[in-house]
Amino acid sequence: MSKNAQRSGFEQLLYTYARPLVKKTFFTTARPTEATRWLYRAVFDAQFSVRESYEWARRALVATPVFLSRCASYGERIVVDRIPYIQGPVRIELGSDIRISGKIDISSSSHGNPVFKVGNGVFLGHQCTFAIAERIEIGDFASMGAGTHVSDTEGHKHYNPGKPIWEVPAGDADIAPVIIEDGVQIGRMCTILKGVRIGARSVVGARSVVRSNIPPDSVVMGNPARVVKRMTPDAPKADASEPEKS
């Protein structure tokens, strides 16, 4: 028998017997029994406590106070999970009862007086980004899903052949403030473009691209975002203690 044939036979033996054994070993896990369940539960509770203590310390002792030191004004009960990435001389004004989950980016033009204003009771999700040349304003009790991008500027002029975009900054025609009114809910990974006003209590579906004004009490979705439903406030309920009028 040739050496190659012997090697082939040996490899076949490994494939037939050793490979299933190794695979079974790697994919075998310990399972808690009635006698050991308390031990595994104690390990889980311990790692949960350590993790949450670390997150609290990073949030309460580092991220939130560091971020607030950069803000021009701020209210009470603000919680920031990670120190935001901030670039440019943007003026940041915060209300109260704000929760910033994860890390957000705030970039502004080096010219003018860009303002980022956030009202009371606002939630901003992880990896939300804001590009500000003039003003972005978020009203009270609004919420914004993770990965959403909001910009009040094109960032650069569009027709400048032969030049890189960083040498052709946006002009006045390329900038318009973004206003997100009270109670607006914006889904994950949306894009809000310059000059947009989203009316109060509106809902923007996930991954929508909003490039024009949205009336209040609207549900919008798509690219470009279109109104698919108009909402009406709940009618007041009759008092059950009062007899019905015939």
39 token code pair: 């031990």
Give DSSP secondary structure letters for 40-58: HHHHHHHHHHHHHHHHHHI
Q: What angle do CA 120, 220, 176 make, to 5 degrees?
A: 65
Distances (CA, A) of 240 to 236, 237, 244: 12, 9, 9
Query: Which of the residues are catalytic?
Result: 156
* Rounded-to-integer distance, Cα 116 and Cα 128, Å: 13
**CB contact at 8 A, 221 and 191:** no
Q: Are 172 and 153 in contact (CB under 8 A)?
A: no
With beta carbons less than 8 A apart as the criterion, state whether 243 and 229 touch: no
Residue 19: other Cβ atoms inside 10 A? 10
